[in-house]
Chain A
Amino acid sequence: MVKAYCKRVLLFLPYVGCYFLALGIAMLALVLYASEFLFENNTDSIVSIAVYVPDDEAYTRLGIDLVKNMDSVKHTVDIDQVKSPEKVVRLVENGEAIAGVIVPDEFFDNMGTSSAQQVQIIYRDADTFEEHLVNDLLYTMSDLLGTTQSSILTAEEYAAQIGLDASDANAIGNNVMNESFEYVMNRKSLFHTLDAKDIIDNYAVRERLTASYTLFIIVMAIFVISFFYKGNNDVFRARAKLSGFSTLKLFLIESGCTAFMLYLIYLAIFICLCFIFDSMKVLSLLTVLPAIFVVALFGTGLCYLIKKPSTVSYIVFGAGTFFMYLAGCLIPLDYMPHFFKEAAVYNPFYYLNAFFMRSMFL
Chain B
Amino acid sequence: MGDYVVSVEKVSLKYKKTVLTDVNMSAAKGDAIGLLGLNGSGKSTLLSAIAGLRKPASGSVTLKGKAGFVTQENALIEELTAMDNLKMWTSLNKQEILKALTETELSKLKVADFIDLKVKRMSGGMKKRLAIASVLLSAPDILLLDEPLAALDIPAKNDIVSFIDSFRAKGGTVFIASHSEEVFRHCNKIYLLKNGSASELPVGVSLTEALNG
- Contact segment of A216-224, A237-245, A297-305: A237-245
Q: How far is the CA of A12 from the CA of B80 in the complex (A)?
A: 11
A283 lies within 8 A of chain B by Cβ:
no
CA distance in complex: A8, B120 (Å): 14
Fill in one digit per residue for A216-235: 1 if any B CB lies within 8 Å of its CB, else 0: 00000000000000100101
Segment of B21-29, B64-72, B102-110, B160-168 engaged in the interface with chain A: B64-72
- Chain B residues near A11 (CB, 8 Å)? 79-80
Q: Interface on chain A toward B: helix, strand, loop, or mixed SS?
A: helix
Q: Evaluate contact between B89 and A235: CB separation under 8 angstroms.
A: no
* Contact status A242-B74, CB under 8 Å: no
Interface residues of A in 1-45 (CB under 8 A from B): 1, 3-4, 7-8, 11-12
Q: A4-B84, A7-B84, A243-B89 are in contact. Are A238 and B79 (CB under 8 A)?
A: no
**Are A4 and B69 interface neighbours, CB within 8 A?**
no
Note all chain B residues with C-beta closer than 8 A to A12. 79
- CB neighbors of A among B112-128 (8 A): none
Contact residues in A for B138 (Cβ distance below 8 Å): 243
B88 with A242: CB separation less than 8 A: no
Query: Bound state CA distance, A236 and B131, in angstroms?
Result: 11
Nearest B-chain residue to A237, judged by Cβ: B75
Contact with A235, one of B52, B68, B73, B84 (Cβ below 8 angstroms): B73
Q: Shortest beta-carbon distance, B131 to chain A, in Å?
A: 9
CB neighbours (8 Å) of B73 from chain A are: 233, 235
Q: How far is the CA of A242 from the CA of B53 in the complex (A)?
A: 8
Give the complex CA separation of A11 and B84 in angstroms: 12
Q: From residue B119, how far is it (CB to closest CB) to chain A in Å?
A: 12
Give complex CA distance A242, B52 in Å. Answer: 8
Q: A238-B48, A239-B75, A243-B138 are in contact. Are A4 and B67 (CB under 8 A)?
A: no
C-alpha gap A230/B84 in the complex (Å): 15
Q: Which residues of B lie under 8 Å from residue A230 when comparing CB positions?
A: 75, 77
With an 8 A cutoff between CB atoms, is B87 at the interface? yes
CB within 8 A of B51: which of A7, A8, A236, A242? Answer: A242
Q: 15 A–B contact pairs at CB < 8 A?
A: A4-B77, A4-B80, A4-B87, A4-B88, A8-B80, A11-B79, A230-B75, A230-B77, A238-B53, A238-B69, A239-B71, A242-B51, A242-B52, A242-B53, A242-B67
